[in-house]
Amino acid sequence: MSGHYNLVSWNVNGLRAAIKKGFLELLLEQKFDIVCIQETKVSPDKLPREAKNMPGYYNYFVSAEQSGYSGVGIFSKKKPLNLETGMGIEKFDREGRFLRADYEDFTLMNIYFPNGKASQERLEYKMDFYDAFLDHANALLADGRKLVICGDVNTAHKEIDLARPKQNEMISGFLPEERAWMDNFLAAGYIDTFRMFNPEGGNYSWWSMRTGARKRNVGWRLDYFFISENLRDNVKSSTIYPEITGSDHCPVALELEF
């Protein structure tokens, strides 16, 4: 992996279900160096044996206190120099949404951001999480780090990022305050890597499973790779893989060269 990294991020909507659908075979076939997954829905004691024994990969998982909920994981060919399993804020860390791995060339944060659709309380929790995360990222940046941030952000940033913006402007995931936070985040010196290469609409990473939306490509772009500005020159490609099935989300990928 000397100086070259192929990273992928995927909300797998249940790790055990994804394994049954060929997730691990896909991992080996694609030869990704670092694989970040969200919504694992599995506690460490119930991790499938094959996930813990992936040939060629170290693996790290964080789970929620609530069984079968949330959770993130990293499969990495290179052993991180350091690992952090939360932001140090109990009300967020208990939901198992944050996993940070420090490498020689960058610091990686794999995050499953909250969904705000269930209630006003959950929307407030989501916005509080956003603010706490940005403070956390900015502190790392001030420390001189180069940041890669990936995961299911649970917000489509601009109208181009979902198929039906007008019908969804009062729905969590495309609310003015959520989109404004995304504006502030990018203005703070972070880059949406996919938009470095592709300015087009019609590129989505999540589709409702109830309406046959994926076949019609009526989707949302909720999954991202962001970088701090000091990594801009190291980005070689940023890709969405809508043809890869097995979840209601598809994988997104980032290629870095040092």
Q: What is the pLDDT of residue 258?
A: 96
Share of the chain above pLDDT 70, in %: 99
**Which range, 1-10, 47-56, 165-174, is most confident?**
165-174
What are phi and psi for residue 104, nearest 5 degrees? -60, -40
The answer on pLDDT for 1 being more than 60 is no
Query: Percent of the chain scored above 90 by pLDDT?
Result: 89
Which pLDDT belongs to residue 2? Answer: 59
Quickly state the pLDDT bin for 28 (edges 50, 70, 90): confident
Is residue 78 a contact partner of residue 35, using CB atoms and an 8 Å limit? no
Residue 27: pLDDT band (50, 70, 90) is: confident
The predicted model gives 62-73 an average pLDDT of: 95
Q: pLDDT by residue (tens digit) across 205-251?
A: 999 998 899 999 999 999 999 999 999 999 999 999 999 999 999 99
Residue 124: count of CB within 10 angstroms of its CB: 12
Tell me the catalytic residues: 152
Contact between 240 and 252 under an 8 Å Cβ cutoff? The reply is yes
Q: Which tens digits make up the pLDDT trace of 33-55?
A: 999 999 999 988 888 888 888 88
- Give the H or E element holding residue 235: strand 235-240
Query: CA of 255: how far to CAs of 63, 152, 217, in Å?
Result: 27, 18, 25
Over 119-186, what HEC string results? CHHHHHHHHHHHHHHHHHHHHHHHCCCCEEEEEECCCCCCHHHECCCHHHCCCCCCCHHHHHHHHHHH
pLDDT of 21 above 90: yes
pLDDT tens-digit series, residues 100-149: 999 999 999 999 999 999 899 999 999 999 999 999 999 999 999 999 99
Eight-class DSSP state of 106: -
Q: Which domains does the chain have, with CATH numbers?
A: 4-257 (3.60.10.10)
CA angle 137, 138, 142 (to 5 degrees): 120
Among residues 1, 219, 187, which one has the least CA distance to residue 103? 1
pTM, to two decimals: 0.97
For residues 76 and 57, the answer to whether their CB atoms sit within 8 Å is: yes
Q: Residue 232: what pLDDT? A: 98
Q: What percent of the chain is helix, strand and coil (3-state, nearest 5)? A: 30, 25, 40
Cα torsion through 72, 78, 82, 84, rounded to 10? 0
Tracing tokens 């959520």 back to the chain, one arrives at 178
pLDDT tens-digit readout, 158-168: 999 999 999 99
Strand 34-38 vs strand 72-76: parallel, antiparallel, or unpaired?
Answer: antiparallel
Distance CA 153, CA 126 (A): 10
- As a whole number, mean pLDDT of residues 191-207 equals 98
- The encoded tokens of residue 233 equal 């020159």
